[in-house]
Amino acid sequence: MDSALIPEGVKRCPLKWFAVWIGILNVPLMVGVVGALLCWGLALNQTNMNNNYPFALWIAADLGVIALGAGAFFTGFLRYIVKIDELNNIVNFTVVIGVICYAAALGILAIDIGQPLRGWFIFWHANVHSMLTEVAFCISCYFMVLCIEYVPLILENRQIDKFRFPHAFSHRLHEMMPAIAAVGVFLSFFHQGSLGGVPGVLYGRPFAYREGFLVWPWTFFLFILSAIACGPCFTILITKITEKFARKQLVKRNVIDILARISGWLLAGYLVLKILDTVYWVSSTAANVGAPAGSFYANEPFGVWVLITEVGILGVIPAIILLTKRARENQPLLMLACLLNCTGIFMNRWIMTVQSLAVPVMPFDKFFSYHPNWVEWATTLMPLWAGAIVISLSYRYLPIFPQEKELNPL
């Protein structure tokens, strides 16, 4: 029924099966919508957040999806500025993933601020001394950039492309893409870094505080590096999952290999700097303010295992796999490395937000535990279902994989 809308030369499942798939995805999505409406209608007491944990699952997830979305700006940077032409075959898909990630970040923030009607206050009553204000500016602007990058993909739909103006507009947008990608790189660099800067400047919390360069704590640079190390891995992971569902190869192996190799080197570089930062923080920064490292890991579940898991299992292991040619060419191992890398970024963001707040800072402070409730889980997982719907629709109706026809001749 919708065959006229499907790109030429490719095969898609029947519309009824597609409708069933979208219907299934809508069920958990609606549960998340109920959770969001509860928060907006009855206030944030519907969650397990409290004065000890004003930054909780939502903010950790927010920072996580923004880091995963770094694949969009970084692949754009590699394609349009470094001129790695092979990445042309995956850059469209990274834009789709980026739009989903940043829409998710903004959506979660809209729930987290409790009163979305006052969301514009951050622009109008901007606190120009706050890194979070800079983050809000940058992610809003970068979301616009991603939408501008997504528009030509929509205009290339088989039916829309028949009209002369959308065709010409799409063509002109493509011509401007290197400049638009450069704006995206500028914005992403600053908000990825500033997200790391937020915990790094908390001098009242020795667990999070770091020294740094000029106004930027070391976490500023670590967050940028970790984001560009994991973004390409998330792109690979989602591409592979899409290939599993589509039951066909969509991107050539050499394209995936380039991204995996770059990600591996960046992850290795990040790990070296992260370990150096941790050693300096434990031996100097925290020690100088009378906060022994043992006190940071004295409260379970935030024990030393957290640090070992984050740096070792979710850092060193994927880095080794991504840097070893034979391991990288093994598809299940590559998937495992990407999964570990992406999980590691979420764990890092969780530690820098939730664990930072969990560690007591005063002698009379007690440790309070925190477990997200169903409202927080349902709303946090919403982007997963919404993202799957957007990817499904984009895959079905838009030419996002230029190599698909060549790899799967009809």
Binding region for other proteins (CB under 8 A):
88, 92, 123-126, 128-129, 133-134, 137, 141, 144-145, 148, 156, 164-165, 167-176, 179-180, 183, 186-187, 402
Nearer to other proteins, 1 or 128 (CB): 128
The nearest distance, CB 360 to other proteins, in angstroms, is: 34
The residue among 120 and 364 lying less far from other proteins, judged by its C-beta, is 120
391: which residues sit within 8 A by CB, 6+ positions away? 96, 97, 100, 238, 242
CB of 252 to other proteins, least distance (A): 15
The residue (of 16 and 129) whose beta carbon lies closer to other proteins is: 129
Phi and psi for 211 in degrees, rounded to 5? -75, 180
Between 269 and 402, whose beta carbon lies closer to other proteins?
402
Instruction: Name which of 128 and 362 has its Cβ closer to other proteins.
Output: 128
Per-residue H/E/C for the chain: CCHHHCCCCCCCCCHHHHHHHHHHHHHHHHHHHHHHHHHHHHCHHHCCCCCCCCCCHHHHHHHHHHHHCHHHHHHHHHHHHCCCHHHHHCHHHHHHHHHHHHHHHHHHHHHHCCCHHHCCHHHHCCCCCCHHHHHHHHHHHHHHHHHHHHHHHHHCCCCHHHCHHHHHHHHHHHHHHHHHHHHHHHHHHHHHHHHHHHHHCCCCCCCCCCCEECCEEHHHHHHHHHHHHHHHHHHHHHHHHHHHHHCCCCCCHHHHHHHHHHHHHHHHHHHHHHHHHHHHHHHHHHHHCCCCHHHHCCCCCCCHHHHHHHHHHHHHHHHHHHHCHHHHHCHHHHHHHHHHHHHHHHHHHHHHHHHHHHCCCCCCCCCCCCCCCHHHHHHHHHHHHHHHHHHHHHHHHCCCCCCHHHHCCC
> Between 18 and 169, whose beta carbon lies closer to other proteins?
169
**Complex with other proteins: residue 30 or 126, whichever CB lies closer:** 126
Q: Which is nearer to other proteins, 60 or 138 (CB)?
A: 138
Question: Shortest distance, CB of residue 320 to other proteins, whole angstroms?
Answer: 35
Minimum CB separation from other proteins for residue 154, in Å?
A: 13
Q: Judged by CB, which is closer to other proteins: 123, or 203?
A: 123
Q: Closest distance between other proteins and the C-beta of residue 80, in Å? A: 11
Q: 394, 23, 25: which is closest to 242 by C-alpha?
A: 394
Distance of closest approach, residue 171 Cβ to other proteins, in angstroms: 5
Shortest distance (Å) from residue 3 CB to other proteins: 22
Closest separation in Å from C-beta 59 to other proteins? 22
CB of 223 to other proteins, least distance (A): 19
